[in-house]
Amino acid sequence: MPTVRLGFIGAGGIAGFHLQNLQRVPEAKVVAFADPNLDAAKQRAEQVGLPAREGETVFGDWQLMLERVEMDGVLVLSPHAHHFEQIVAALQRGLHVLAEKPMVVTSEQAQKVVLAARQAGKQVVVSYQRRFTPVFRFIRDQVHKGALGELTFVEAVIGQDWQQLTQGTWRQMPELSGGGMLMDSGSHMVDFVLWTVPNAPVKVSATISQCGAPVEINDIVGVQFSGGALGALIAMGNFTHFMERYTFVGTEGAMWLDRGQVVWQPMGGEQRVVEAKELPPASTPDRHFVDVVLGRVENMSPPEDAFKVVTLTTAAYQAAATGQTVAVPSLPA
């Protein structure tokens, strides 16, 4: 059985999530951790039964890990603003990358990551879990098959007690996070919408509020897609709990996801709840990353798509700051 050797840049809370996923991937072998908090790196090493030897398997400096450890890929799990430098450095060393969302925090950085990956001939997979979750994949597949006809409207809502959960952490420090709720948890919502809608976004308007925080907490983003469809994206960062809801309306019907259930209604027809047996199989970004590295599958979450997410997000921030409608640039050929 082939083995994919992996290093972690970042040993914080999200690293535990990825380690749980990788424990179910027999081809994956975690060989090193790097984190400014060396104790955190050592704890993660112990968690996977890796001898915690400073300068060999655990590092306070991620660059030193890239220099010293033989690896096939790295997971970039650091604060958002650090992603760009770390992703590009890994690619230049011939490593594949699984990057936490958002991939980077500016469209210029995203464009450079796309170019760096192409030049290196290596893969960047962005960890957008909904792309591997059955209910989300089902909706996306049906929209792209034309089951709803031509899309005319999209509504997406994500809510979380994000302001409370992130208070006092780097996620509310703009220089490290790149933004607030929309850049962080809201990134999943933006990605799912852009992945599902066949047409590209062309312009956005937005209103945001900070609710006394250093970054924005609540966002209302209006999107116009090529072809004329409209979108309303709402991120509530001071909600009571985590929730998300999506509605896709087309000329032939509507489909919506609420509380984990997909409901489908043709125009003039009856509503029905999509049954579990109709859904595609589940996976994880980590399982997918290993399969991509081994050449078994095509990359389902490439940097070109992540470019679209960060570009729309930063365009929304610009629209909110200026009170103007802002064009959403596309990736240059």
Query: Which DSSP category does 179 fall into?
Result: S
| Tens digit of each residue's pLDDT (9 = 90 or more) over 287-297 | 999 999 999 99
pLDDT at 126: 99
What residues does each domain of the chain span?
4-129, 134-280+303-327
pLDDT at 1: 83
pLDDT at 4: 99
- Rounded CA separation 151/268 (Å): 17
- Determine if residue 207 is left, alpha or beta; phi over 0 gives left, psi from -120 to 50 gives alpha, anything else beta: beta
Instruction: Give 10-residue mean pLDDT values along the chain (333 residues).
Output: 97 97 98 98 97 97 98 99 99 99 98 98 99 98 98 99 98 98 99 98 98 98 98 99 98 96 97 96 98 98 99 99 97 84
* Runs of H (alpha helix) within the chain: 13-22, 38-47, 62-68, 83-92, 107-120, 134-145, 162-166, 174-177, 186-196, 285-293, 303-322
| Tens digit of each residue's pLDDT (9 = 90 or more) over 223-238 | 999 999 999 999 999 9
pLDDT at 230: 99
**Side chain identity, residue 130:** R
Query: Beta-carbon neighbour count of residue 175 at 10 Å?
Result: 9
- Determine if residue 221 is left, alpha or beta; phi over 0 gives left, psi from -120 to 50 gives alpha, anything else beta: beta
Please give the CATH superfamily to which domain 4-129 belongs.
NAD(P)-binding Rossmann-like Domain (3.40.50.720)
| Tens digit of each residue's pLDDT (9 = 90 or more) over 10-60 | 999 999 999 999 999 999 999 999 999 999 999 999 999 999 999 999 999
The CATH T-level fold of domain 134-280+303-327 is Dihydrodipicolinate Reductase; domain 2 (3.30.360)
* Runs of H (alpha helix) within 134-283: 134-145, 162-166, 174-177, 186-196
Instruction: Annotate 101-140 with DSSP letters as a single string.
Output: SSS-SSHHHHHHHHHHHHHHT--EEE--GGGGSHHHHHHH
